[in-house]
Amino acid sequence: MAALGRSENGRIRVGIYSSIASGFLAELLRSFGEQQNHVQIELIDGNPEEHVAAIRGLKLDVAFLTGTRTWQDCDSALMWSEGVFVVLPERHELAIRTAVDWRELSGEAFMVSETAPGQEIYDIW
């Protein structure tokens, strides 16, 4: 990382969680790449536990994680927050609403990715 501050050629290894790899994070990485075009950005997809282990093992330089969990022996900072969207059938009683509270969805079935959600799923309640 010191080489980055001195404008030397180098590589930065960035851990990402694919579900947050668009929007703000994509723009941040694009902007960094333009400003630091001498630095190769290597993106590594994984879950928070894998990324924290890689940070501790010095295999990643930085990781972007979801949730509010505190990780021992790691520094963290809140970078941004994103809205969560719910998609419902037209005839669903909540479909006419512009905003829905999480508690109103407690009895609903959810489609999720193949990868099991991490602890951050509980942060929404």
Is residue 77, in this structure, part of any structural domain at all?
no
- In order along its 125 residues, the chain shows pLDDT tens digits of 555 455 567 999 999 987 666 788 889 999 999 999 999 999 999 988 999 999 999 999 999 988 788 899 999 998 888 777 888 999 999 999 999 998 999 888 877 666 655 555 555 55
Which residue range(s) make up the domain with 7? 2-63
What total of structural domains would you count in the chain?
1
Is residue 29, in this structure, part of any structural domain at all?
yes
pLDDT at 2: 54
Is residue 86, in this structure, part of any structural domain at all?
no
What gap in Å lies between CA 18 and CA 22, rounded to an integer?
8
Is residue 10, in this structure, part of any structural domain at all?
yes
Is residue 13, in this structure, part of any structural domain at all?
yes
What gap in Å lies between CA 60 and CA 57, rounded to an integer?
8
Read off the CATH number of the domain in which 27 is found: 3.40.190.10
Q: What is the pTM for the complete model shown? A: 0.67
